[in-house]
Chain A
Amino acid sequence: GEDVEQSLFLSVREGDSSVINCTYTDSSSTYLYWYKQEPGAGLQLLTYIFSNMDMKQDQRLTVLLNKKDKHLSLRIADTQTGDSAIYFCAESTGYQKVTFGIGTKLQVIP
């Protein structure tokens, strides 16, 4: 079955870059996602990448996909305190469901 793994915690200083990593097992994944959850709130989609892409950039966010190693990363440039949140990696192979990792808690130190 599908499995998505990511580390639990990352701490960075304000202004530095953050890199959150994720591995997945299902080689037929069509879309891969990064969701952000702020305290007391639901998840919100940050960005997604289609499986035939290697990289996607959106302002401060860069997503890298290594399909051979089934590795996905999210880089946040110039990390701000407002970026403190839990970041979920997720993958989808079809219409019915999305499988989430356990989430990486990003702590930004002022």
Chain B
Amino acid sequence: NAGVTQTPKFRVLKTGQSMTLLCAQDMNHEYMYWYRQDPGMGLRLIHYSVGEGTTAKGEVPDGYNVSRLKKQNFLLGLESAAPSQTSVYFCASSRGTGGYTGELFFGEGSRLTVL
């Protein structure tokens, strides 16, 4: 049981380049999330999804796009990377309604550096 898997784990980009981070979960969870973690800032929610085909903006959505074409996958895209997007990105998932406790299951993180 892999849980939440993120790829790639490390990436270095030049300013203006684009890339996609992939998150996959095998727990049949309804909800998926992308967070970024920066020193002194904790975790901030970028975008989230409450089901296949749906996405919504979180706290810091600018410069990012997401898609949830399949229930198990949640993609985070950077169309034109900027140095301010240097961060560690975490994907998480949780069950939907029914026995909900809000527990988030996290991937191991993707460290992105934008030069």
Q: Which residues of A contact B (CB under 8 A)?
A: 4, 8, 30-31, 33, 35, 40-45, 48, 88, 92, 95-103
Contact = CB atoms under 8 A, between A and B. Distances in A.
Interface string B81-96: 0000000001010001
A40 B88 CA distance: 10
B58 A97 contact: yes
A97 B59 CA distance: 10
A102 B44 CA distance: 9
B108 A92 contact: no
B56 A95 contact: no
Contacts of A45: 103-104
A43 B33 contact: no
A57 B96 CA distance: 26
Contact of B106 (A4, A44, A95): A44
A100 B108 CA distance: 17
Contacts of A101: 42
B112 interface: no
A97 B106 contact: no
Given A95-B50, A95-B97, A42 B107 contact: yes
Contact of A100 (B4, B42, B100): B42
Contacts of B78: none
B90 A97 contact: no
A101 B40 CA distance: 10
Contacts of A33: 102-103
B102 A42 contact: no
Contacts of B27: none
B43 A100 contact: yes
